[in-house]
Structure 1
Amino acid sequence: MSIPAPAAFVSPLGLLPLARTAVDRGSERRIAPDLFETIRADAATRVMYFAKGRALVRDSALVLLDPPADGFGDAPVYLGRTLEDAQVPLGSDIVLVTLPEPDPALAVDGAAWASLRESATELGALDAGLFVEAAAVANWHAAHTHCPRCGAPTVPEQGGWVRRCPEDGSSHFPRTDPAIIVAVTDEQDRILLGSAAAWPGNRYSTLAGFVEPGESLEAAVIREVEEESGVVVHSPQYLGSQPWPFPCSLMLGFTARTANPAARADGVEMSDVRWFSRSELAAAVSSGEITIAGPISIARNLIERWYGGTITEPEAGARP
C-alpha cells in the first residue's frame, strides 16, 4: 500500500530527524517471487550499500548506485519506491545490499562511508528515511540468522522482510522494541535530567526505558521515572515518536508532571539526576559543565521543546 507524503505525519514534536520518510515500502510487492529480477532490469533502480552501520554519503546526500551486473547478492532487502525527487527520480526502486566491511572502491568522487549518527541531520527526508530503514533491517538480519524454535539457519524471503525456517516452516519478522522517553517537569516548570551510569563524563538527558510485556505506555512512563529517579509522576502525555535503530528501538516521547520533586538516582542505571530551570540549563551547557543529548535524538527535541528554543552548545575546541 502506498503511503502519503511525509508532511502528513507531523507530530507535536515536529519532523524529528529519524522519523522523516519519503519511501513507499511496497509491502504488497515484496511477496512477488521475481521481485529482484524484475527491478534489476529497470534502469531507474538504485542500490544503497551498507556496511558496519555506515553508508555512502556525499554532499549531504546518500550515494545510490546502479545495480551490480552480477545481481544483488545473497540477501538483498527491498527498501521501497521513492516518493519524492532527490538524487534519484520519484518512483525509483531502492535495494539494500549489506557488505561485511566498507568497500573503499565504492567511495569515489568525494563519497565517504558515514554513520547515521554522523549524517542524519544533514540528510533530506528521503535519505534519512532510507538510512534509518536500512540500519534497522540490517541489524535485524545480522542478529536473527537462526530459528528461535529449532536453531536451524533461516533464509530471507519477501524482499528481505521475512526470514523463514526451512526445517519447521515458521516465519520470523523484524522486531521493534518500544521504549518511552519523558520530559518530566515540576510545579516550578523545571525539567528533570539524568546522567546514565553507562555514559562517559557529564552527559545528561531525559529519562527513558523499555516498555515491559503487558504494560501500557503510560504505565511504563510512571514506572521508569520512579525506578530511575524516585520521582512519582502523573498526567503522562504522548507527543510523538521516532525509530532509533541502535539496534531496534522505537522511542515514544512523553511529558509528565510531578508534585513532589524530591529526586535521587537509583545508582544502577542512573549515576545522577538533577532539576534544571531554563537559565540553569543554559548556563550549564554553555559553560561545558554538562552536555545534553545530541541533535538527532528525540530527547534533544523534548528538552528544547520545554526550553522554548535552541540550546547553544560551546564549540568543541572551546570546551574546558
Structure 2
Amino acid sequence: MSAPSLPQIATDYQVLRQGAGLVDLGARTQIELTGKDRQTFLQGFCTNNIKQLQPGTGCEAFLTNLQGKTLGFVLVYCHGESLVLETTAGQAEVLTNHLDRYIIQEDVVLQDQTQAWHQWLLAGEQAAELLSKELTTPVPEQQLQHVEAQLQSIPVSIRNVPWSRYPCYAINSQQEQAAAIEQILVATGIKSCLPEAAEICRIEAGFPHYEQDITDGNLPQEIDRNDRAVSFTKGCYLGQETIARIDAMGHVNKRLCGLRFSSPAVPAVGSELSVDDKVVARITSSCYCPACESPIALAYVQRGHDQQGETFTLSAGTATVCTLPFENL
C-alpha cells in the first residue's frame, strides 16, 4: 500500500479539527485492576492521587521505579468495580510485571485486556453532536471523564481524552465489535481518517506517547505535566523521594516543549539542535502542521533555552520554543 499523500493527510486533519473524524487506534495497552484493594495498591506506585478518583472520572499518572524514573505514562479510569490503565501499545507486559511483583496479600487482580478490547479515536467540533445521536447516555464533557453506554445495541465505553486541542473521545468496545462500531459511526456522517492526521493533532496538543516521547530514562518532571499527572501532597509511593527532591530543588535539566520551524523540511525524530556546538534540544515527535504551514515538533529542550519564544538559528531557518499545547495555530 502506498503512503498517503500530504493533501489526503491535510484533508483528514481538517476533519479531525472542524468536523468529525474517526481513527482506528487498534489495541492500545489496557490493564484492568479489580479487587477491593485496587485503589490503595495503585496509589503506592504512581504519581497522581488515585484515592480521590470516583467512578466516571480519571487522571493522568506516571508509574515510576525506586529511582523515580518513568516506567509508564498512563490514563487511569475509575469504574465502580475496577480501575483501567490505558497507554501506548506494547506496554502491557512491562507494566503488569512491574505491578504484579508487589502484590503480596492485597486483594488486587491485574488483567491485560489489550487484545480483548479495541479503541477508536473520534475527534472534531462536530464529534459530540454526531456521537450523541447514537448513544443512550450523554457524551462526557470534561477531559478523562468517561461513561458506559450503548452504541445502538453494542456496549461501549466513551472516554474524553487529551489527544487533541479539539473535542476528542476514545471509544472502547470488545474486539469482535470493532467493525460494527466503525460501520455505525460512518453511517452517521463521521469520516474515517488517516492515523497520520491524528498524529498531527496529538503533537499540537502536546500529548506524549511512551517510548516515542518518554522512556525509562526520564524523570516525570521532565515531561512537564505536573499539573495533570503529579500530586505533591498525596503521600508516599515508589520513587516519591526523588520526585519530591526535584520539586524542592525547583527544576530539572530539560523539559518537553514544542518547537516550530521556519524551514519547510520536517526534522527527523531523534535529531538534535545545537547552539555554539552544544546540544540544546532533541526531537521526539515531528510533523508538518497544515494550520501553521510549517513543521512542528515535541522536543526535550535544555534548561536555560526552554522559555517560550526562544529561537535557535539553524543551518536552514530557525526553531522557536513554544509552550504546550501549541496555540494560535
TM-score of the aligned structures, taking structure 1 as reference length:
0.22
- Indicate the structure with greater strand content: 2
* Structure with greater Cα Rg: 1
Higher relative contact order (CA 8 A, sep 6+): 2
Relative to the length of structure 2, the TM-score reads: 0.22
